[in-house]
Structure 1
Amino acid sequence: MPGGGFSKLPNGSVVVALSLPSPVGDGATARFLVHAVNRARALTRLRNLGMRAVYLRGNAEPPTPDEITAVLHHPDGLLWRTQPEELWHPIGALLRPAPQPQP
């Protein structure tokens, strides 16, 4: 079952972390981080990218301090990764089409 949570920052904004099925279709789980004005806006940002069935129920898996730092230092405020030891990917990496091999 996908999980997630949020942390409210001193300036009033929030960082939402969600564990969802991997967007690359490999059966793994991906962790998404979103920085937004409030929880509703964070979820709307993900839904606008095509993740329609995204909901935050409870606060079982809030973002860690390292995750908060990562998303706050990224200009888009939206990151993802599939493994804890891998680097964070900007959401643009999901939206770009895969490069086609040259004949």
Structure 2
Amino acid sequence: MVALSLPRPDGGSRRVRVLVHAVNRQRALTRLRNLGLRSVYLRGNTQPPTPDEITAVLHHPDGLVWRAAPEDDTESWHPITALLRPAAHT
């Protein structure tokens, strides 16, 4: 399980917390790069996953979840596809 803080792919100013269920850090990185997040690098482990985050990612079918406000326990975890899809323009 790897937890990362990444810039939003849509260029937003806020960062998002991404959790990846993988055998090791390199495989987590590969999973993210395969989804199009090419500029992701794993440097250290400054914010390891909490027990609640581990539970969230283990119970998600894709094993990849994110949320915009990591410090807000009331925000739900979202599937990674919700972060990567283009924003709807009206």
Q: TM-score, normalised by structure 2?
A: 0.84
Q: 1:54 aligns with which of 36, 40, 44?
A: 40
Instruction: Give the percent of matched residue pairs that are identical in Structure 1 and Structure 2.
Output: 74
- Paired position in structure 2 for 1:73: 59
CA RMSD, 1 decimal: 1.6
Q: Aligned-pair distance for 1:100?
A: 6.3
| Preserved contact between residue 23 and residue 30 of structure 1 (Cα < 8 Å) | no
Q: What CA deviation, in whole Å up to 9, does each residue of 1:23-54 have, x standing for no partner?
A: 34320010000001211111100011111121
Q: Aligned-pair distance for 1:88?
A: 0.8
- Paired position in structure 2 for 1:18: 4
More helix by share: 2
Q: Bigger shift: 17-26 or 43-52?
A: 17-26
Map residues 31-46 of structure 1 onto 2, 5 A cutoff.
Answer: 31-46=17-32
Alignment of 1:91 onto 2:80: yes
Distance in 1, Cα, partners of 2:89 & 2:45 = 41
Q: 1:64 aligns with which of 6, 29, 50?
A: 50
Q: TM-score, normalised by structure 1?
A: 0.75
Unaligned runs of 5+ in 1: 1-14
Q: Which amino acid aligns with 1:76?
A: D
Q: Bigger shift: 69-78 or 59-68?
A: 59-68
